[in-house]
């Protein structure tokens, strides 16, 4: 298999900075032999921060970052001098990235906008110096706080592709051909299953200089929800698509059954996917006459819009764009 530059999941051991200790110090100079407490606070340990970057589309740049260790805060010192905070580490990630704790599976952060920042691990707070503990009954406190420990553990970063329309279909259903026909994307196309092993994105030009993003996703098979084939690696990417375009080839043996298998795999993986808008496109329709189109149309669910297209001849591709734009911009009635 060819080596891919698309990386959509990585694990990194992270440790945020420890807080600096507060200072236990008393003022001493040539004019003051026994001055009061003047110990400064410790600095905060460095955070580890995720930041969204629209120029990134994969986690490849983080593949070789096995350990990310943030800087500790400096200790406080005399003359009420606060220690320097640790320098935060900023990890730039593509939009659609989520971060989880490997042990608990808990969602820790989600990056959806350019420039958005989320703290992946907080640095420990700096300890208070002894000057903070001076009271009327304790003029010379002999103690200061230690700094708090930072956090550490393995964090899992996952990328879920952000696209308006996701192409769903069995391997070799013609998804890559459709994407290359209506966008400037150049996905790999060949006449065998699983040509597409990673998501491909393209911008669809629409009327009046409008556009929307379409993703060609790796082909689904029965059992994908259980991890067969490309399994969860594929299914995770369609969670964020607003509209799912089911592509079923005209030469399929049973168009309705093929749609139901695809829908069932989505439901098993995440039932919330059934709340998305669906559109069905019958590809390779240049080989069909009107009688066959009517017969196929009668098989399909009545509640889901369908259209017959041909990516090779361009048949009904403009009408497909209209249908998708309408689905993307339909407002639910409250």
CATH number, position 65:
2.70.210.12
In a domain, residue 185? The reply is yes
Give the whole-angstrom CA distance, residue 59 versus residue 97.
9
Full residue range of the structural domain in which residue 126 is found: 1-159
Domain C-terminal end among 122, 138, 159: 159
In a domain, residue 334? The reply is no
Tens of pLDDT, residue by residue over 178-213, are 888 887 655 443 343 333 446 677 788 888 888 888
Tens of pLDDT, residue by residue over 139-193, are 889 999 999 999 999 999 988 877 889 888 887 777 888 888 887 655 443 343 3
- Ranges assigned E (strand) in 235-327: 243-249, 277-283, 306-308
Give buried/exposed letters for 301-334 (b at 16+ CB in 10 A, else e): eeeebbbbbbbeeebbbeebbebbbebeeeeeee
* 218 and 202 in a common domain: yes
Tens of pLDDT, residue by residue over 206-236, are 888 888 888 877 656 554 444 444 444 556 6
- Interval 287-300 mean pLDDT: 91
Domain C-terminal end among 135, 159, 183: 159
**Count of structural domains, the chain:** 2
* Domain CATH code at residue 274: 3.40.50.300
* 289 and 153 in a common domain: no
Number of CB atoms found within 10 A of residue 8's CB: 22
Contact 243, 281 (CB under 8 A): no
Contact 314, 181 (CB under 8 A): yes
């Amino acid at each position: 298999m060819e080596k891919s530059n698309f990386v959509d999941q990585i694990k990194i051991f992270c440790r945020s900075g420890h807080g600096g200790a507060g200072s236990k110090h008393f003022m001493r100079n040539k004019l003051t032999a026994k001055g009061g407490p003047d110990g400064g606070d410790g600095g905060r340990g460095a955070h580890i921060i995720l930041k969204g970057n629209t120029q990134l589309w994969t986690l490849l740049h983080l593949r070789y970052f096995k350990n990310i260790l943030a800087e500790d805060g400096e200790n406080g010192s005399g003359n009420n001098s606060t220690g320097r905070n640790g320098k935060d580490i900023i990890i730039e990630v593509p939009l659609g990235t989520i971060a989880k704790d490997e042990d608990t599976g808990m969602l820790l952060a989600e990056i959806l906008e350019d420039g958005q920042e989320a703290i992946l691990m907080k640095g420990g707070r700096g300890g208070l110096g002894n000057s903070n503990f001076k009271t009327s009954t304790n003029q010379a406190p002999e103690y200061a706080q230690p700094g708090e420990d930072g956090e550490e553990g393995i964090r899992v970063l996952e990328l879920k592709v952000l696209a308006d329309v996701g192409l769903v279909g069995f391997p070799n259903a013609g998804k890559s051909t459709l994407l290359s026909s209506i966008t400037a994307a150049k996905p790999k196309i060949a006449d065998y299953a699983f040509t597409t092993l990673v998501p491909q994105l393209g911008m669809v030009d629409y009327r009046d200089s409008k556009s929307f993003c379409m993703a060609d996703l790796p082909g689904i098979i029965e059992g994908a929800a259980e991890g067969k084939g490309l399994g969860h690696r594929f299914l995770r990417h369609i969670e964020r698509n607003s509209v799912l375009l089911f592509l079923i080839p005209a030469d399929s043996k049973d168009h309705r059954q093929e749609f139901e298998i695809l829908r069932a795999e989505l439901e098993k993986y995440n039932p919330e996917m059934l709340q998305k808008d669906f559109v069905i496109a019958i590809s390779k329709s240049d080989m069909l006459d009107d009688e066959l189109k009517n017969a196929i149309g009668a098989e399909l669910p009545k509640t889901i819009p369908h259209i017959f297209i041909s990516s090779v001849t361009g048949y009904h591709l403009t009408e497909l764009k209209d249908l998708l734009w309408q689905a993307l911009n339909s407002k639910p009635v409250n």
